């Protein structure tokens, strides 16, 4: 379920900052976005491009994180949570199943950071108690 090549790519992008901004699209910013959130949006967009997933990125401090399929696919992020971003990417790739999105995103986190146990709890679609992954 987890592509080792994708793990390597993500690890690289997470450790290299800044990088040349070579992906075609920019994130749409609503209100303000912290530097960490901007960085996460770049990483997420790079990953979406690499994985050939079509989805726009909308970011803004405090926005409710979600994936919207209509009228055009878009990922909305409101904080610099890598795990939540992975969760939304999973929805964009695999569909609306919460079980699949949570499983893929948590597994990817554990592949990226084997020393960290994923402790966040999902309330519906949103991740809570995720302190260790905010502002990575």
In the complex, the residues that contact Zn ion under the rule CB under 5 A are: 98, 101, 125
Looking at beta carbons only, is 101 or 109 nearer to Zn ion? 101
State the nearest-atom distance from the C-beta of 39 to Zn ion, in Å: 22
Q: Where in the chain does DSSP place strands (E)?
A: 28-29, 56-59, 66-68, 74-77, 121-123, 126-128
Looking at beta carbons only, is 114 or 124 nearer to Zn ion? 124
Looking at beta carbons only, is 45 or 105 nearer to Zn ion? 105
| Cβ atoms 59, 38 nearer than 8 A | yes
Torsion of CA 78, 121, 8, 64, to 10 degrees: -10
State the nearest-atom distance from the C-beta of 94 to Zn ion, in Å: 10
State the nearest-atom distance from the C-beta of 101 to Zn ion, in Å: 5
């Amino acid at each position: 379920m987890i592509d080792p090549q994708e793990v390597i790519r993500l690890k690289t992008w997470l450790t290299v900052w800044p990088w040349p901004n070579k992906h075609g699209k920019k994130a749409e910013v609503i209100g303000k976005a912290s530097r960490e959130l901007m960085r996460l949006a770049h990483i997420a967009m790079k990953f979406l491009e690499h994985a050939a997933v079509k989805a726009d990125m909308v970011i803004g401090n405090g926005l409710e994180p979600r994936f919207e399929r209509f009228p055009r696919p878009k990922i909305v992020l409101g904080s610099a949570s890598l795990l939540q971003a992975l969760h939304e990417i999973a929805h964009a790739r695999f569909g609306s199943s919460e079980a699949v999105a949570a499983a893929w995103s948590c597994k990817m986190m554990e592949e990226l950071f084997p020393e960290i146990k994923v402790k966040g709890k999902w309330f519906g679609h949103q991740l809570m108690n995720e302190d260790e992954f905010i502002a990575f």
